[in-house]
Amino acid sequence: MVVLTAKYQCKPGMGDAVEAALREMMTHVQSEQGCIHYFVNRSIDNPDHFLLFEQYVDEQALSAHSETPYFKRLVLETVVPLLEKRERTLYRPIVAPSVPD
């Protein structure tokens, strides 16, 4: 399993346009086989800041997600040009050891 967090800092006043693109993105990602969670969060304090939390079954599923036509159109071509900063971090979940019966 792999987790991706992405922090988006929009150019001033671009938050609504970014939210619209991410809302459309959410409708597509829900049908991806390898996606477990895709949460988009918008800052209460600054409407031009977003935090995305994505969880995939493996790195291949994340890679496949990044190659979809809608990712390229909505994220790379629409959202990224509206950002001042984009930070992405990959994580692996820590799983508790199993307890013998």
For 17-21, 30-34, 63-67, which range has the lowest pLDDT when averaged over its residues? 30-34
Distance CA 40, CA 63 (A): 19
**pLDDT tens digits for range 30-55:** 889 999 999 999 999 999 999 999 99
E strand residue ranges, 1-101: 2-10, 35-42, 49-56, 83-91
Instruction: Give the residue-averaged pLDDT of 52-62.
Output: 96
pTM: 0.88
From residue 76, alpha-carbon distances to 32, 81, 99 in Å are: 18, 8, 44
State the pLDDT confidence band at 58, using cuts at 50, 70 and 90: very high
Domain ranges of the chain: 2-91
Say yes or no to pLDDT of 101 above 80: no
Q: What are the φ/ψ torsions at residue 86 (nearest 5 degrees)?
A: -140, 120
- Picking from 49, 44, 43, the residue whose alpha carbon sits closest to that of residue 11 is 49
Distance CA 23, CA 51 (A): 13
**CATH value of 2-91 in 3.90.1150.10, 3.10.20.30, 3.30.70.100, 2.40.50.140:** 3.30.70.100
